[in-house]
A = this chain, B = another copy of it.
Amino acid sequence: MVFMATMKDVAREAGVALGSVSRVINHAPGVKQKTIDKVNAAIKKLNYVPDEYARGLKVKSSKTVALILPSIWNLFFAEFAYYVEKYLAEKNYKLLLCNYSNNPKAEQHYIKMAKQNKIDAIICITYDDLDKYFYAGIPLVSIDRYFEQKISYVTSENYEGGRLAAEELLKHGVKHPAFIGTYNHNPSDVMKRHKGFAEYLSEQGYEFADVYLLEPVTKEKEETELFKLLDKNPEIDGIFCNTDSLLLDVKNWLAQREISVPEQIQLIGYDGIKPDFNSELGISTIRQPLPEMAKCAVEMVIEKVEQHRDEQRIERFPVSYIEGNTTKNI
């Protein structure tokens, strides 16, 4: 490692005391301009960078937030993480990445890690119990979750999204709609997709076939259940998939049985995942405004950290329908 100047070196070079250097670095009020200039000159000359670990030890903060999610290997989470890192960086925070599903005893592990590393806050997407993080006293913002406890979260208009999916399916000529998706033991805002879908159809006088499975569930199970449903209801001509990931799987399963999409069965997903900034997967889906949601999550969490606000805050973002090639042209 190369020589690294310390604050002491800067103080000596500038001919001032240690405290003054610290004050100019932290933009403390009431420092003479001349002192500021001397210190800044010395900093430049010595190529000084403050040591975050020494600072962290003193002020008990690390300027980092942990992003805890099932797996970064997922386009929805990856896009979200991309924007979270972006907005955190703008606020001078760092992002520690934690893949939840990597870790056998994850909760334990990450709580310990958070304490150990002075993690300032957590942004987290998980459908397990989060009480422990909460009780550990670390500010936390969740995605999509609905809690008994007063945890803040950001989510999309899941109910409206469900309705929209139903509406679009009908608009595209579907006569026998179906739903496929999973849900968790803990109540989650995501469940409203199902509710909105069901209610819209019922209002329009439609019935629908339903595969709604409790997690944890394997892909094999999902596939089996889907085909059971299809065998029982061969007239099905449109399916709303809970998430785009699931839509991708459903599309593959149907292809294996040589059922063509969208000719025989039309598909609408939820999330609006994209492989890149301006690339498209080409699927029909209900898009969540991920950049805005990430920005909001970052703002909420930083507000909690810096202003010690701990009321529950819930932000819900509007969704929109994106036409792709898994529905028919109309």
Contacts and interface: CB of A to CB of B under 8 A. Distances in A.
Contact of A279 (B113, B118, B248, B255): B248
Nearest to A50: B116
Interface stretch (A56-64, A153-161, A310-318): A56-64
Nearest to A138: B1
Interface stretch (A9-17, A74-82, A169-177, A178-186): A74-82
A113 B51 CA distance: 10
A134 B203 CA distance: 64
Most chain B C-beta atoms within 10 Å of own C-beta, residue among A85, A277, A280, A282: A85
B85 A98 contact: yes
A281 interface: yes
Interface in A62-101: 62, 64, 67, 71-75, 77-79, 81-82, 85-86, 89, 94-99
A217 to B, nearest CB: 13
Interface string A198-239: 000000000000000000000100000000000000000000
Interface residues of A, number: 61
A20 interface: no
Contacts of A74: 78, 275-276
A249 B276 CA distance: 10
A129 interface: no
A72 B62 contact: no
A62 B56 CA distance: 12
A31 interface: no
A266 B78 CA distance: 29
A53 B56 contact: yes
A97 B65 CA distance: 11
A278 B137 CA distance: 37
Interface in A7-66: 49-54, 56-57, 60, 62, 64
A102 interface: yes
Given A117-B52, A252-B282, A279-B249, A85 B57 contact: no
Interface in A101-117: 102-103, 112-113, 115-117
A126 interface: no
A157 B196 CA distance: 50
A258 to B, nearest CB: 12
Interface string A247-291: 011011001000000000000000000011111111000000000
Given A52-B117, A71-B82, A74-B275, 19 more contacts: A4-B115, A49-B115, A49-B116, A51-B116, A52-B118, A53-B57, A53-B118, A72-B78, A72-B82, A74-B276, A75-B78, A78-B78, A86-B99, A86-B102, A94-B96, A94-B117, A219-B279, A245-B275, A252-B279
Interface of A: 1-2, 4, 49-54, 56-57, 60, 62, 64, 67, 71-75, 77-79, 81-82, 85-86, 89, 94-99, 102-103, 112-113, 115-118, 136-138, 219, 245, 248-249, 251-252, 255, 275-282, 325
